[in-house]
Chain A
Amino acid sequence: MAENGIGVAVRRKEDRRFITGAGRYTDDINRPDQLYAYILRSPLAHARINAIETAAALAAPGVVAVFTGADMAADGVGGLPCGWGVANKDGSPMVEPTHPCMVVDRVRYVGDQVATVLARTRAAAKDAAELIEVDYEELPSVTDIHSATADDAPLVWDEAPGNVCYDWAIGDARAVDAAFEKADRVVSIDVVNNRLIPNAMEPRAAIGEYDEATGDYTLYTTSQNPHVIRLLMGAYVLGIPEHKLRVVAPDVGGGFGSKIFHYAEEAIVTWAAKRVGRPVKWTADRSESFISDAHGRDHVSHAELALSDEGDFLALRVRTRANLGAYLSTFAPSVPTYLYATLLAGTYKTPAIYAEVKSVFTNTVPVDAYRGAGRPEASYLLERLVDKAARVTGIGPIELRRRNFIDPDSFPYQTPVALEYDTGDYDACLAKALEIADYAGFDRRRKESAERGKLRGIGIATYIEACGIAPSNVAGALGARAGLYEVGTIRVNPTGSVTVLTGSHSHGQGHETTFAQLVTEALGVDIDNVDVVHGDTAKIPFGMGTYGSRSLAVGGMALMAALDKVKAKSKKIAAHLLEASDEDIEFKDGKLTVAGTDRSVSFGEVALAAYVPHNYPLDILEPGLEETAFYDPKNFTFPAGCHIAEVEIDPDTGVTEVLNFVAADDFGRIVNPMIVEGQVHGGVVQGIGQALYEQCVYDPESGQLLTGSMMDYCMPKADNVPRLEVATNTTLCTHNALGVKGAGEAGAIGATPAVINAVVDALSGIGVDDVPIPATPERVWQAIRQAAA
């Protein structure tokens, strides 16, 4: 193992600048002569716009321009594209309404973009926006799934009857029906997956710039995938060819999916910059984030599990309705379908599965991928259902799971819902988690809590996720409108240092360290002599960005492929320098040696020779040492694991305290265990947040967002979280050379069902068999009271 190579807990190289306040975020960037944009947003959930009067705003001090949707439409600006099409059961396409950057005549959610004011200061723009008179004719609105699917529901889109975007299904309905007929028992459950508001630490921001001399545009933006933004905005919205559009995503303070998508403000500032001939900057404030960042989750499901008397799962039937919000965000259609229902097998060998998903439009902020994206919804549903089955049958949560786990020797395992798992050992993770959680000692702890008048519960959840999205041909067959490979360049500089160019984007994941470790391992270059560059389409050859825990499994593999090319060329150069055959050159610890001899050259000497080719095989080899590779994965990767939560409830107040939390995960090979542990911590806290605190609430009558700030939207805080015990049990991914699977989302997937199962376990002794999520003190208290009544 190299000193700072694979498997070493190297301290994060990027942290020095972050913790000294020297990070460079979009809002830290200021361009000469820039203007500030303020976006006037709809205060109504649904309304027709009869007129927008902007003259007074335009006359306000400091104001340079006021634009509306009509101005963009007149310029031929297109709508925001949707990157994934989903078909109905009958094969017809989903309803795909237009998604204008600024509305023209109808607003569809509180927060919809109505007008943009450009002024010399942010305050002047904001003040002037107050002078814009919008004549709204309010229309009835609908915000929740039940109301949206009611017979007389107001329509968000005239072209979407019943507000249905698509009615989709996966699996073999007939096989499932047959299995249910033969079943000894059927256990069913209704679950809600609560709507979440992402709240990355850094609000979104964007700066557009246009160079009249060259016709080049530049967009600085808070994005997880600058190349994707360049593609979508350039090709579909503004009609700017790639070579004339540079997208820079500098340091980004967290994304969790919410910064994958192409947002209107990016196109507005870029377009406006050309219109006014000055750079245009927009920065969201926190309140704006609540009503303009894509929200997450928001499912309502009914699920039934058919079992034999012995507890074998025979079939699973799931009916889900998902809220997509008012418009289709970039990847919205894929989240409740291909990223959700394909994971309903979980870690179990259920032979038949059928899932129907109806996704609906509502007058709410668009909903899209949020940490886990579909997979937390699948795990939550499945693990709640399995836990209920364990209770109802009396088989118990451990035995029932073990009985149905896919055996370690049955991989590759084809699920009934499209995926082929390559490897895993679910019982090993379960066993590890049980041991660390001291499951055997739980009864004693429960008694001790009871003596203090408290209700103690323990909850288990296993999970599996499909990461490393994705083999492009598979994704394409499922409706993706882009390839999902990744690109990496290894640029060896003349003195032997290395610059890594990666299409993956780091916004908290620690790529600058992890990717440098790959280089150190492969080339023996000191980690301080490796720099990782990302987030700039002018510097990086290409890329698809960071989401779905794909950076290492796809982006890292692209770098490995490039490193292989560098190593192969280095061997040829060394062979020339050492007057040997390149097949006889061994590359190890930064030295290239003729096998079986002590004749060697250092990697630095090879690099120098490549750039100063005085003694160099110019007849067979180009000078220079820089290689690029595109890597398209062969399959998804399948991280899996077991999380155990132990909670204590105060029956007098309904307050739930998480006392212990154990995560035993299989992420494949781990490059930096410290970073992985940090990823798990963050994910688990988000999962606990969903289980106990976070809930987006709209007023059902007016469609107003009622949880529009952190006063009303409760984020988990440090004192809500116990010490987290994190362990791993590794099986290597079989289809990538690193054996890596991905770790970014797991915490948020496993934690939520573990915590709710623990809450239900704590309350089951007093007759409560279900609690709403999030299990807030009020709801738990009500559940206790109802059970007592």
Chain B
Amino acid sequence: MEIQGEYLIAGPRERVWDALNDVDILRECIPGCESLERVSDSELQAVVMAAIGPVKARFNTKITLENLRPPESYTMVGESKGGAAGFGRGTATVTLTESVDSTELHYSADFRVGGKLAQVGSRLVLGATRKIADDFFGSFSRKLDAGAVRVEVHGGAGRQPAPASRTWLAIGAALLVLLIWWFLLR
């Protein structure tokens, strides 16, 4: 499954980049996150309780950050295992572009789910992922006390109309979250 999206985040690019790399902020903003730790400069490990449709499980997720080009872009490669609930695996690329008074975050991810998650939840994964991303950005924006506007999110199945613009603080963390999620979800 492919999904991509853009968020407009108030604040300079460096600040967004830093927040995206702040493990404490991420941990508090990722829905269901039970733990998130930095294993090395380029590796994160997370445990997230997640539910997609009827599948609810604790997902152990490993994320490796690659092609780090602060504060412009990076790639996340992730794998998430939910035991009997199945697994997810994917790659996401996050790009931050400077804009007037704000930062434009663009992400594009390609991920797969397997096991029970595919058998009973595959229809729901894309929608659930989007919701989780939105939840994350909501929390994230409140956390940073700033505003972000989601410009557009669309998946591989076709363009989804952008929802009424809401104020969110979004960060590449979006990506992270998404990634974690997808991986989790898987």
Contact, CB under 8 Å: A708 / B123:
no
User: Would you give the 0/1 interface string for B83-99, flagging 1 where the beta carbon is closer than 8 Å to chain A?
Assistant: 11011000000000000
Q: A43-B114, A44-B114, A110-B114 are in contact. Are A705 and B84 (CB under 8 A)?
A: no
Contact, CB under 8 Å: B112 / A702:
yes
Which of A50-72 touch B at CB < 8 Å? none
Q: Which residue in B53, B86, B120 is a CB contact (below 8 Å) of A43?
A: B86
Contact, CB under 8 Å: B112 / A43:
no
Contact, CB under 8 Å: A708 / B114:
no
Contact, CB under 8 Å: A110 / B120:
no
Contact, CB under 8 Å: B112 / A708:
no
Contact, CB under 8 Å: A709 / B84:
no
Contact, CB under 8 Å: A704 / B113:
yes
Distance from B185 Cβ to chain A, minimum over Cβ atoms (Å): 13
Give the CA-CA distance A243 to B185 in the complex, in Å: 51
Contact, CB under 8 Å: B87 / A704:
no
Size bracket, chain B contacts:
10 to 19
The residues of B that contact A705 with a CB separation of less than 8 Å are 118-119
Contact, CB under 8 Å: A291 / B119:
yes
Give the CA-CA distance A110 to B115 in the complex, in Å: 7
The residues of A that contact B114 with a CB separation of less than 8 Å are 43-44, 110, 702, 704
Which of A705-756 touch B at CB < 8 Å? 705-709, 711-712
Which of B37-87 touch A at CB < 8 Å? 53-54, 83-84, 86-87
The residues of B that contact A712 with a CB separation of less than 8 Å are 119-120, 122-123
B116 contacts chain A at the CB level, 8 A cutoff: yes
Distance from B84 Cβ to chain A, minimum over Cβ atoms (Å): 6
CB-CB nearest in chain A for B82: A130
CB-CB nearest in chain B for A130: B83
Contact, CB under 8 Å: A706 / B122:
yes
Give the CA-CA distance A110 to B87 in the complex, in Å: 12
The residues of A that contact B123 with a CB separation of less than 8 Å are 706, 711-712
Contact, CB under 8 Å: A699 / B84:
no
Contact, CB under 8 Å: B120 / A699:
no
Distance from A652 Cβ to chain B, minimum over Cβ atoms (Å): 22
Contact, CB under 8 Å: B119 / A287:
yes
Give the CA-CA distance A290 to B119 in the complex, in Å: 9
Q: A110-B114, A110-B115, A702-B114 are in contact. Are A43 and B122 (CB under 8 A)?
A: no
Contact, CB under 8 Å: A702 / B119:
no
Give the CA-CA distance A705 to B122 in the complex, in Å: 9
The residues of A that contact B119 with a CB separation of less than 8 Å are 110, 287, 290-291, 704-709, 712
Give the CA-CA distance A702 to B118 in the complex, in Å: 10
A126 contacts chain B at the CB level, 8 A cutoff: yes
Contact, CB under 8 Å: B120 / A704:
no
A129 contacts chain B at the CB level, 8 A cutoff: yes
Give the CA-CA distance A63 to B41 in the complex, in Å: 38
The residues of B that contact A699 with a CB separation of less than 8 Å are 118, 122
Distance from A26 Cβ to chain B, minimum over Cβ atoms (Å): 23
CB-CB nearest in chain B for A132: B83
6 additional A-B pairs beyond A705-B119, A708-B118, beta carbons within 8 Å, are A110-B114, A110-B115, A129-B84, A706-B119, A706-B122, A711-B54
5 A–B contacts from the bound complex (CB under 8 Å): A110-B114, A699-B122, A706-B118, A708-B119, A709-B54
